[in-house]
Structure 1
Amino acid sequence: MKRWGRRLRHLAVGVLDLPQDVVLEVPRITMIGHLQMYIENHRGVLHFSEKELRLLLTNGQLLVTGEQLVIRAILPEEILLEGRIGGVKFLEKP
């Protein structure tokens, strides 16, 4: 049943020209160089330090690593991160 739901969502993206991030429930990430990152469609902050940000996603987690990381703004599904961003990694649900 889940497989059909996933196929229908992909079909809706193509046929109806809907934004993929909304229909597929994946994050939209906008970066300005390695100094600023804006992340939409997250489900909450799991961990934050000056070297790491871990966000809950619908299908796993997002791990952002770097130095001197600072959360400049946070809303229920959006976050603005600044600092020296060194890496971004998606951790899928097992």
Structure 2
Amino acid sequence: MQISFVYILKCADNSYYTGVTSNLNQRMYQYDAAFYPDCYTASRRPVELVFYAEFTNIGFAIDKEKQIKKWSRAKKEALINGDYDALPNLAKKKFQK
């Protein structure tokens, strides 16, 4: 059984990037080296791994990645901070500052 990871990176421009991989260490090396120079993170380095979760089913991991990518920044930050109780109440909408 192969483990898959869903992860969130915080980029130098303060944006978040969500991805999925079967080898998190290798993937982080690729981000640091700008292995794919045209990807979203290459021009936003350095990146910081701020969240990851392990999955035993790659299909489920991909579904979760797609779900998280649709979340608002506030909801992603609640996940990153481990504030799981807040997740159901954070809809994808604009919040007043």
Query: TM-score per shorter chain, which class?
Result: under 0.3
Structure possessing the higher radius of gyration over alpha carbons = 1
Please give the TM-score of this superposition, normalised by the length of structure 2: 0.24
Please give the TM-score of this superposition, normalised by the length of structure 1: 0.25
1 or 2, which has the higher strand percentage? 1
Could you say which structure has the greater relative contact order, defined with CA pairs below 8 angstroms and 6 or more residues apart?
Answer: 2
